[in-house]
Amino acid sequence: MTGRGMPWLRLAFGAYALLLFTGTHWPKLNIQGPVPRSDLWVHLIAFGSWSALVTLCAFFGPWHTRRNLLLSWTLALGYACIDEGLQGIPALGRTCAWDDLAFNWLGITIASTVLALLARTLSRSQPLPESPSNGR
């Protein structure tokens, strides 16, 4: 997978992003689980998955490059802030909470770190393909 990623992966990301946005903005949604604040683990996994998909979609060059890894991580952190902030809209009956945002960021950072370590491991074991030159 080089350059702009695989089309099916971008479709999967689009569908996942739409589902995540819908879930995080569904009015008065309350997640109950076996432990107090189970929703924090949902935040960690949901935003970690979003971040991994963004990175693998290779919007900023081949997925394994520092540029794509860093920009995807930054984009995911920014999106998490916007998403959490929008939950403060009174009509949604949701809450905007710092601990939710912290778990969003933690999930994003874990996913990004795992992909960065994977890229590093793969680059040591085999040469990773370069992106096609864009006439530059």
| Residue 44 domain flag | yes
User: Does residue 8 lie within any of the structural domains?
Assistant: no
Domain that holds residue 117: 36-125
State residue 62 phi and psi, 5-degree precision.
Answer: -55, 140
If one counts the domains in the chain, the total is 1
Domain assignment present for 18? no
Mean pLDDT on 45-67: 96
The per-residue pLDDT for 46 is 97
pLDDT of residue 62 exceeding 70, the answer is yes
pLDDT value, residue 128: 57
Answer with the residue of higher pLDDT: 35 or 12. Answer: 12
pLDDT at 3: 46
Q: Of the ranges 17-31, 35-49, 73-87, 117-131, which one carries the lowest mean pLDDT score? A: 117-131
Q: Which residues contact 10 (CB under 8 A, 6 or more apart)?
A: 57
> Is the residue at 58 inside a domain?
yes
Other C-beta atoms closer than 10 Å to the C-beta of 83 total 21
Confidence of residue 37 (pLDDT cuts 50, 70, 90): confident
* Domain presence at residue 99: yes
Confidence (pTM): 0.83
**Does residue 111 fall inside a structural domain?**
yes
- pLDDT attached to residue 130: 59
Average pLDDT value over all residues in the chain: 88
Position 117 scores a pLDDT of 96
Amino acid residing at 44: L
**Residue 64 lies inside a defined structural domain of this protein:** yes
C-alpha angle with apex 87: 81 to 89, nearest 5 degrees? 120
Q: State the Cα–Cα distance between residues 128 and 108, nearest whole angstrom.
A: 24
User: Could you tell me if residue 46 is inside a domain?
Assistant: yes
